[in-house]
Structure 1
Amino acid sequence: MAKLSLIQREEKREKLVAKYAKKYAELKATIDDQSKSEEERYAARLALQQLPRNAYPTRLRARCGITGRPRGTFRKFGLGRTKIRELAFRGDIPGVVKASW
Protein backbone atom coordinates (compact mmCIF):
# COMPACT_ATOMS: atom_id res chain seq x y z
CA MET A 1 0.00 0.00 0.00
CA ALA A 2 1.37 3.38 -1.00
CA LYS A 3 1.62 6.15 1.53
CA LEU A 4 -1.62 8.05 1.83
CA SER A 5 0.18 11.37 1.36
CA LEU A 6 1.44 10.28 -2.08
CA ILE A 7 -2.03 9.19 -3.15
CA GLN A 8 -3.50 12.50 -1.95
CA ARG A 9 -0.77 14.44 -3.76
CA GLU A 10 -1.68 12.65 -6.97
CA GLU A 11 -5.37 13.46 -6.46
CA LYS A 12 -4.44 17.11 -5.92
CA ARG A 13 -2.51 17.08 -9.20
CA GLU A 14 -5.48 15.55 -11.02
CA LYS A 15 -7.71 18.37 -9.77
CA LEU A 16 -5.22 21.01 -10.90
CA VAL A 17 -4.84 19.40 -14.33
CA ALA A 18 -8.63 19.36 -14.73
CA LYS A 19 -8.90 22.97 -13.58
CA TYR A 20 -6.33 24.29 -16.06
CA ALA A 21 -7.00 21.84 -18.92
CA LYS A 22 -8.87 24.31 -21.11
CA LYS A 23 -6.32 27.11 -20.67
CA TYR A 24 -3.45 24.66 -21.20
CA ALA A 25 -5.00 23.38 -24.44
CA GLU A 26 -5.60 26.91 -25.74
CA LEU A 27 -2.03 27.99 -25.02
CA LYS A 28 -0.58 24.86 -26.60
CA ALA A 29 -2.73 25.41 -29.70
CA THR A 30 -1.52 29.00 -29.95
CA ILE A 31 2.10 27.92 -29.60
CA ASP A 32 1.74 25.26 -32.30
CA ASP A 33 -0.20 27.51 -34.71
CA GLN A 34 2.25 28.59 -37.42
CA SER A 35 -0.15 31.23 -38.75
CA LYS A 36 0.19 33.27 -35.53
CA SER A 37 2.93 35.87 -35.25
CA GLU A 38 6.11 35.13 -33.33
CA GLU A 39 5.14 37.68 -30.67
CA GLU A 40 1.80 35.96 -30.03
CA ARG A 41 3.43 32.55 -29.84
CA TYR A 42 6.12 33.87 -27.51
CA ALA A 43 3.49 35.47 -25.27
CA ALA A 44 1.64 32.14 -25.18
CA ARG A 45 4.86 30.38 -24.13
CA LEU A 46 5.34 32.87 -21.31
CA ALA A 47 1.72 32.44 -20.21
CA LEU A 48 2.15 28.67 -20.25
CA GLN A 49 5.16 29.00 -17.97
CA GLN A 50 3.06 30.98 -15.51
CA LEU A 51 0.69 28.06 -14.95
CA PRO A 52 1.25 26.05 -11.77
CA ARG A 53 3.79 23.28 -12.18
CA ASN A 54 1.31 20.59 -11.18
CA ALA A 55 -1.17 21.77 -13.83
CA TYR A 56 0.79 19.92 -16.52
CA PRO A 57 -0.72 16.56 -17.52
CA THR A 58 2.74 15.02 -17.87
CA ARG A 59 3.21 15.20 -14.11
CA LEU A 60 0.35 12.78 -13.48
CA ARG A 61 1.28 9.28 -12.41
CA ALA A 62 -0.87 6.24 -13.08
CA ARG A 63 -1.54 4.49 -9.78
CA CYS A 64 -3.33 1.30 -8.83
CA GLY A 65 -6.90 2.03 -7.81
CA ILE A 66 -6.74 -0.36 -4.86
CA THR A 67 -3.22 -0.13 -3.47
CA GLY A 68 -1.94 3.13 -4.94
CA ARG A 69 1.14 1.39 -6.33
CA PRO A 70 2.80 3.69 -8.91
CA ARG A 71 4.53 1.10 -11.06
CA GLY A 72 3.20 -1.86 -12.98
CA THR A 73 -0.21 -0.29 -13.54
CA PHE A 74 -2.38 -1.40 -16.45
CA ARG A 75 -4.34 1.47 -18.00
CA LYS A 76 -7.13 -0.81 -19.19
CA PHE A 77 -8.00 -1.87 -15.65
CA GLY A 78 -6.56 0.96 -13.58
CA LEU A 79 -4.99 -1.64 -11.32
CA GLY A 80 -1.51 -2.81 -10.47
CA ARG A 81 -0.22 -6.09 -11.86
CA THR A 82 -0.45 -7.90 -8.53
CA LYS A 83 -4.08 -6.92 -7.97
CA ILE A 84 -4.99 -7.86 -11.54
CA ARG A 85 -3.47 -11.28 -10.93
CA GLU A 86 -5.36 -11.77 -7.68
CA LEU A 87 -8.69 -10.64 -9.12
CA ALA A 88 -8.22 -12.66 -12.31
CA PHE A 89 -7.53 -15.86 -10.38
CA ARG A 90 -10.69 -15.30 -8.34
CA GLY A 91 -12.64 -14.64 -11.55
CA ASP A 92 -13.63 -11.10 -10.58
CA ILE A 93 -12.49 -9.58 -13.89
CA PRO A 94 -14.83 -10.65 -16.70
CA GLY A 95 -13.13 -12.06 -19.77
CA VAL A 96 -9.73 -12.52 -18.16
CA VAL A 97 -8.59 -16.12 -17.88
CA LYS A 98 -5.28 -17.75 -17.14
CA ALA A 99 -3.39 -18.54 -20.31
CA SER A 100 -2.89 -22.17 -21.26
CA TRP A 101 -1.54 -23.56 -24.50
Structure 2
Amino acid sequence: MVLANKVFQHMPERNSVSWNVMISGYIKLGDLRTAQAIFDEIPDKSVVSYTAMISGYSTIGGIESARMIFDQMPAKNVVSWNAMIAGYVNSHMFDEALSTGSD
Protein backbone atom coordinates (compact mmCIF):
# COMPACT_ATOMS: atom_id res chain seq x y z
CA MET A 1 0.00 0.00 0.00
CA VAL A 2 2.96 2.31 0.48
CA LEU A 3 3.75 2.18 -3.23
CA ALA A 4 0.09 2.38 -4.19
CA ASN A 5 -0.28 5.47 -2.01
CA LYS A 6 2.74 7.10 -3.65
CA VAL A 7 1.24 6.54 -7.09
CA PHE A 8 -2.15 7.77 -5.87
CA GLN A 9 -0.67 10.95 -4.36
CA HIS A 10 1.09 11.79 -7.63
CA MET A 11 -1.86 11.12 -9.92
CA PRO A 12 -2.71 14.27 -11.88
CA GLU A 13 -6.36 13.27 -11.91
CA ARG A 14 -8.19 10.81 -9.67
CA ASN A 15 -11.45 9.10 -10.53
CA SER A 16 -13.90 6.96 -8.57
CA VAL A 17 -11.95 3.81 -9.39
CA SER A 18 -8.66 5.16 -8.02
CA TRP A 19 -10.34 6.45 -4.85
CA ASN A 20 -12.18 3.18 -4.27
CA VAL A 21 -9.10 1.04 -4.90
CA MET A 22 -7.23 2.95 -2.21
CA ILE A 23 -10.11 2.64 0.25
CA SER A 24 -10.48 -1.08 -0.43
CA GLY A 25 -6.76 -1.69 -0.08
CA TYR A 26 -6.58 -0.08 3.33
CA ILE A 27 -9.74 -1.89 4.42
CA LYS A 28 -8.19 -5.23 3.44
CA LEU A 29 -5.18 -4.35 5.58
CA GLY A 30 -7.51 -3.56 8.47
CA ASP A 31 -6.44 0.09 8.44
CA LEU A 32 -9.87 1.70 8.71
CA ARG A 33 -8.38 4.95 9.99
CA THR A 34 -6.54 5.56 6.72
CA ALA A 35 -9.47 4.24 4.66
CA GLN A 36 -11.76 6.70 6.48
CA ALA A 37 -9.32 9.57 5.88
CA ILE A 38 -9.26 8.82 2.15
CA PHE A 39 -13.05 8.41 2.10
CA ASP A 40 -13.41 11.82 3.75
CA GLU A 41 -11.32 13.40 0.95
CA ILE A 42 -13.39 12.05 -1.94
CA PRO A 43 -15.07 15.00 -3.64
CA ASP A 44 -17.97 13.00 -5.11
CA LYS A 45 -18.54 9.86 -3.09
CA SER A 46 -20.24 7.00 -4.91
CA VAL A 47 -22.43 4.22 -3.59
CA VAL A 48 -19.40 1.96 -4.04
CA SER A 49 -17.31 4.15 -1.72
CA TYR A 50 -19.99 4.22 0.95
CA THR A 51 -20.59 0.49 0.70
CA ALA A 52 -16.87 -0.31 0.98
CA MET A 53 -16.69 1.67 4.21
CA ILE A 54 -19.85 0.04 5.59
CA SER A 55 -18.43 -3.41 4.87
CA GLY A 56 -15.05 -2.47 6.31
CA TYR A 57 -16.44 -1.21 9.58
CA SER A 58 -18.80 -4.17 9.82
CA THR A 59 -15.89 -6.58 9.38
CA ILE A 60 -14.02 -5.17 12.37
CA GLY A 61 -17.11 -4.93 14.56
CA GLY A 62 -17.62 -1.20 14.11
CA ILE A 63 -21.32 -1.51 13.41
CA GLU A 64 -22.08 1.94 14.85
CA SER A 65 -19.64 3.56 12.44
CA ALA A 66 -21.04 1.47 9.60
CA ARG A 67 -24.54 2.66 10.42
CA MET A 68 -23.42 6.32 10.57
CA ILE A 69 -21.97 6.03 7.07
CA PHE A 70 -25.06 4.19 5.84
CA ASP A 71 -27.27 6.96 7.19
CA GLN A 72 -25.15 9.60 5.40
CA MET A 73 -25.61 7.95 1.99
CA PRO A 74 -27.64 10.18 -0.31
CA ALA A 75 -28.75 7.15 -2.36
CA LYS A 76 -28.72 3.49 -1.43
CA ASN A 77 -28.89 0.40 -3.61
CA VAL A 78 -29.46 -3.28 -2.94
CA VAL A 79 -25.74 -3.84 -2.33
CA SER A 80 -25.49 -1.11 0.31
CA TRP A 81 -28.65 -2.37 2.04
CA ASN A 82 -27.27 -5.90 2.04
CA ALA A 83 -23.92 -4.71 3.42
CA MET A 84 -25.69 -3.02 6.32
CA ILE A 85 -27.90 -6.03 7.00
CA ALA A 86 -24.88 -8.37 6.84
CA GLY A 87 -23.05 -6.10 9.29
CA TYR A 88 -25.87 -6.45 11.79
CA VAL A 89 -25.99 -10.21 11.32
CA ASN A 90 -22.21 -10.50 11.80
CA SER A 91 -22.59 -8.48 15.00
CA HIS A 92 -25.39 -10.79 16.16
CA MET A 93 -27.85 -7.89 16.08
CA PHE A 94 -30.63 -9.83 14.44
CA ASP A 95 -33.51 -7.51 15.34
CA GLU A 96 -31.65 -4.58 13.76
CA ALA A 97 -30.91 -6.69 10.67
CA LEU A 98 -34.60 -7.47 10.29
CA SER A 99 -35.70 -3.88 10.81
CA THR A 100 -33.05 -2.28 8.56
CA GLY A 101 -35.09 -2.80 5.42
CA SER A 102 -38.03 -0.97 6.96
CA ASP A 103 -36.05 2.21 7.73
TM value normalised by structure 2:
0.25
Larger Rg: 1
Which has the larger share of helix? 2
